[in-house]
Amino acid sequence: MGGLAHLSDVLIPILLFYIVGYGIASRVKVYESFLKGAREGLKVVVEIMPTLIGLMVAVGVLRASGFLDFLAGIFSPLTARVGVPAQLVPVILIKLFSGSAATGLVLDIFRTYGPDSPLGLMTSLLMSCTETCFYTMSVYYMAAKVTKTRYTLAGALLATLAGTVASVILAGKMG
């Protein structure tokens, strides 16, 4: 493990020097190109900031209002049949919108049940097997100015379902 950590300590500076060296050898004004890219990146951040703030506020309101617990109660008879604990329903729903808000819910589960509990294991697997579909779509499509998303949402939701099923199965086998 120590060797791998030292490899990354060396590899990152080598990669940076390679990029700068390649730019200089190609007669590219490296610093000016960096500044231009940083300016364009800042413009993208300014464009997507209202969307990000809206998502964060909406998730905060849902969490603080108790609506997520209400939804968990509604879905718990259905989810219990397929092996998904009711405590995981808010994490699944919020993860679609915000990874950081879902992390807050995960920490609540860890505090209550423990990270090594079957629920903690399932939660950890779920977080790594699913994506923040709506967040990702809003940020990337807004930045790229994509207006026709075609089957992106359906595919992303199907992938989230597959990740959820995989986390339940894997946690069942491990726990």
Take residue 68 and report the two structure tokens written for it.
């997520």
Does the pLDDT at position 93 exceed 70?
A: yes
DSSP state letter for 150: T
The per-residue pLDDT for range 109-165, each reduced to its tens digit, is 999 999 999 899 999 999 998 888 887 887 778 777 787 888 888 988 999 999 989
Nearest residue to 97 (alpha-carbon basis) of 61, 50, 135:
135
